[in-house]
């Protein structure tokens, strides 16, 4: 029972993060920035969603939750691959500053 509650709380936390980020993007104007950098950050965000779904898949034990996580994982993987293909077609690449920024964020993640 404790595992179910733990997984539910993790899932709720993840979805609340997404909700708050979408609300922030809805009400706050994006700052000036290079569109290519914004695209790279979007690709990174989708990659993190895919990694979260993969990690959650290995932790979930209930069949209903496993089915849901498989759906999330498949959707995130397809979205990530689509964004990478589109970036390749558009010639979008990450500059050193963006790569360093993403590395620092990954290093300082607390969850």
Task: Tell me the mean pLDDT in the region 51-79.
Answer: 88
Q: Is the confidence at residue 30, as pLDDT, over 70?
A: no
Q: Is the confidence at residue 31, as pLDDT, over 60?
A: no
Q: What is the pLDDT, as a whole number, of residue 1?
A: 67
Per-residue pLDDT of 14-27, as tens digits, reads 777 777 777 666 55
In percent, the amount of the chain with pLDDT more than 70 equals 82
36 vs 55 pLDDT, higher one: 55
Give the pLDDT band of residue 92 (cuts 50, 70, 90). Answer: confident
SS (H, E, C) 69-83: HHHHHHHHHHHHHHH
DSSP string covering the chain: -HHHHHHHHHHHHHHHHHHHHHHHHHHSPPPS--HHHHHHHHHHHHHHHHHHHHHHHHH--SHHHHHHHHHHHHHHHHHHHHHHHHHHHHT----HHHHHHHHHHHHH---
Task: Name the average pLDDT for the chain.
Answer: 79
Look at residues 40, 51, 41, 61 and name the one whose alpha carbon lies nearest to residue 14: 51
What is this structure's pTM? Answer: 0.61
Q: Is the confidence at residue 84, as pLDDT, over 80?
A: yes
Rounded CA separation 10/33 (Å): 32
Crossing angle for the helix pair 35-59 and 63-90, to the nearest 10 degrees: 160
Q: Is the confidence at residue 78, as pLDDT, over 90?
A: yes
Task: Tell me the mean pLDDT in the region 16-45.
Answer: 72
Rounded CA separation 50/78 (Å): 9
């Amino acid at each position: 029972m404790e595992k179910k509650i733990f997984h539910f709380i993790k899932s709720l936390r993840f979805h609340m993060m997404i909700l708050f980020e979408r609300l922030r993007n809805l009400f706050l104007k994006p700052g000036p920035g290079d569109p290519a950098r914004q695209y790279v950050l979007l690709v990174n965000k989708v990659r993190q969603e895919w990694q979260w779904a993969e990690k959650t898949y290995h932790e979930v034990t209930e069949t209903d939750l496993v089915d849901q996580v498989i759906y999330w994982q498949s959707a995130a993987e397809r979205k990530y691959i689509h964004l990478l293909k589109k970036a390749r077609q558009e010639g979008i690449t990450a500059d050193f500053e963006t790569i360093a920024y993403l590395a620092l964020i990954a290093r300082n993640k607390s969850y």
